[in-house]
Amino acid sequence: MRRAVFPGSFDPITLGHYDIIERGLPLFDELIIAIGINSEKKYMFSLDERVQFISEAFKNEPKIKVMTYKGLTVEFCKQQNAAFILRGLRNPGDFEFEKAIAHTNRKMSDIETVFLLTSSGKSFISSSIVRDVIRNGGDVSTFVPDTVKVK
């Protein structure tokens, strides 16, 4: 079975994430959307909210599991018997950052990282931009799935 992990904080999930997930589905038999827990980080949305946003968005997709994890992504992949990590790239800066992580992960394990370029119409969307729009009272409906409920 080709199982992949798509890790992130998903605070919140965006249409950019959604794009990578949808396009990654044909490549794998199972895709685990893995929400990383970092106690050092301040999140806008609770872990339960983030799990709910993603679970609801993909409720009709049997190949997707939504899980949470702490620690190294490669260790989580090993626990889940996932041979692949799926990552999205929006721009050259993402590539340089993700390349270093992929090389490190590969040195630590046999887990392969698969990169997909975000579709051009969604490449500008990031969770940090979405959070900034929310903080300033803007409408984020064109940047996130309908399942994201803004407080």
Query: Among all residues, which ones are annotated catalytic?
Result: 17, 41, 90, 127
Query: What is the secondary structure of 101-138 as a DSSP string?
Result: HHHHHHHHSSPEEEEEEPPGGGTT--HHHHHHHHHTT-
Pick the closest to residue 33 from 60, 74, 1, 69 (CA basis).
69
Which ranges of the chain would DSSP assign to H, the alpha helix? Answer: 15-24, 47-57, 73-79, 92-108, 127-135
Asked if 4 and 82 count as a contact pair (C-beta separation under 8 A), the reply is yes
